[in-house]
Amino acid sequence: MFDMMFFYVALVGSSLAGLIDLKTTEIPDKIPYAMIAFGIIGYLIKSIIVGSYFPILFSIMTGLIFLGFGLLMYFGGQWGGGDAKILSAIGFLLPYSIFQAKTLFSFPLSYFFNVFLIGAAYMIVYIFILSFIKREIWKEFFKYFKQNSLKLIKLNLIFALSIMIFSSFAAYFYAYPFYFFIKLGGFLMIGTFLFFLFWKFAKTVETVGFKKKIPVSKLKEGDVLESSKIWEGITKEQLRKIKKSKKKYVTIKDGVRFAPAFPLALLFTFYYGDAIFWILNYFIF
């Protein structure tokens, strides 16, 4: 019961952070800080009760390792500061397998991998929903293909011809049936084309859906400037300086509100275990 409390605090805290992130694009620092404090105090009490320093040691180690990775993502411009803190907070709260979960690795390691796999699926759903809210994304996407249709057809014909040539040589040298390499090549060609489609769609979403030119008069605290290399909103002082400058317009950027991926990955890890093995089991084998 004491151990499950850490899980519930992690789930409720990350869910609350996700909801606020979706609504405001900001995660209040008090949420991850409260989660971290609960984890450290809780595992300190547990260490005293069981007469071992391992619970508090694992909590601090896992939390700091998660924080280190989160900061790498933050300074790399991929995450906001709140995302890094939430990941760290979950590390402080769930430093090892405190309950029976269907994971091949330790719970925090499985959760770490799941954050990115479940997070990827979440991001795909997010940008597709956004594209139906902002219809100009689809207009720009189809405009690109209309302007570049001939080039894309040529590239696919070259790719198909290359696969035919490769399949002929491979079938001759490796004594495999010709259709095997045609099937494999066709799979690669379709997969590559679909990947390109999604990449172009994501770039269109980034350009049309996540960037907006606004008058300086409408700029507000917390907005992220396009020129910013990290996902950090402007402060009151920065806002004052920009408004005092001679600039009339600025471009601000948004991104996928990633915080909801943390509770989703937590629930997936709890109920299903490792996402990578679940994917392999249901879609490959």
Question: pLDDT (tens digit, 9 = 90+) per residue, 215-267?
Answer: 887 888 777 787 777 777 778 888 888 887 878 888 888 777 889 999 999 99
Q: Are residues 59 and 89 in the same domain?
A: yes
Phi, psi of 250 (to 5 degrees): -135, 155
My answer on whether 37 and 122 are in the same domain is: no
Same domain (yes/no): 194, 244: no
Task: Based on the fold, state whether residues 228 and 159 are members of the same structural domain.
Answer: no
Q: Flag whether pLDDT at 285 surpasses 60.
A: no
Question: Within this chain, do residues 154 and 95 fall inside the same structural domain, yes or no?
Answer: no
For residue 124, give both structure tokens: 């795909």
So what's the pLDDT on residue 94? 93
Q: Are residues 91 and 111 in the same domain?
A: no
Helices (H), the chain: 2-24, 30-50, 54-75, 81-93, 107-133, 136-174, 178-204, 236-244, 261-272, 275-279
Q: Are residues 167 and 221 part of one domain?
A: no
Site of tokens 């089991």: 281
Q: What is the pLDDT of residue 217?
A: 79
Maximum distance among all Cα pairs of the chain, rounded to whole angstroms = 74
pLDDT tens, residue by residue, 258-268: 899 999 999 99
Residue 140 sits in the same domain as residue 150: yes
**One domain, residues 190 and 223:** no
Of 44, 73, 99, at which residue does a domain stop? Answer: 99
What tokens appear for 159 in the block? Answer: 């790719």
What digits encode the pLDDT tens for the residues 108-145?
A: 888 998 998 898 889 888 888 888 888 888 888 888 77
Report which secondary-structure segment, H or E, holds 280.
Answer: none
Phi and psi of 224, rounded to 5°?
-105, 120
The alpha carbons of the chain give a radius of gyration, in whole angstroms, of 24
CA-CA distance, 278 to 117, in Å (whole number)? 11
User: Rounded to whole angstroms, how far apart are CA atoms 98 and 100?
Assistant: 7
Asked, for residue 43, whether it belongs to a domain, the answer is yes
In-domain check, residue 284: no
Q: Does 265 map to a domain?
A: no
* Range with the poorest average pLDDT among 13-17, 82-86, 100-104, 197-201: 100-104
Q: Which residues pair with 212 in a beta bridge?
A: 252
Which residue, of 182, 210, 238, is where some domain finishes?
Answer: 210
Q: Higher-confidence residue: 137 or 48?
A: 48
Kindly state whether residue 268 falls inside one of the protein's structural domains.
no
**In sequence order, which residues have a C-beta less than 8 Å from that of residue 33 and are 6 or more positions away?**
85, 89
What percentage of the chain has pLDDT greater than the value 90?
Answer: 30
Is the pLDDT reported for residue 160 higher than 80?
no
pLDDT at 37 over 80: yes
| SS3 category, 251 | strand
Q: How many domains does the chain have?
A: 3
Pair 212, 251: CB distance under 8 Å: yes
Distance separating alpha carbons of residues 269 and 246, to the nearest angstrom: 52
The position carrying tokens 């002082």 is 237
User: What confidence score (pLDDT) does residue 284 get?
Assistant: 47
For the beta carbon of residue 87, count every other beta carbon within 10 angstroms: 27
Going by DSSP bridges, is the β-strand pair 224-225/211-215 parallel, antiparallel, or unpaired? unpaired
Q: What string of DSSP letters covers 42-96?
A: HHHHHHHHHT-SHHHHHHHHHHHHHHHHHHHHHHTTSSBHHHHHHHHHHHHH-SS
181 is a domain residue: yes
Whether residue 188 sits in one domain with residue 139: yes
For range 38-45, the mean pLDDT: 95
The separation between CA 48 and the C-alpha centre of its own chain, rounded to angstroms, equals 37
C-alpha–C-alpha distance, residues 168 and 181, integer Å: 8
Place of tokens 């896992």: 62
Residue 213 in 3-state DSSP? strand
Report yes or no on 260 lying in a domain.
no
Last residue of a domain, one of 99, 121, 156: 99
Per the structure, the complete domain to which residue 20 belongs is given by 2-99
CB 104 within 8 A of CB 281: no
The pTM for the full model equals: 0.75
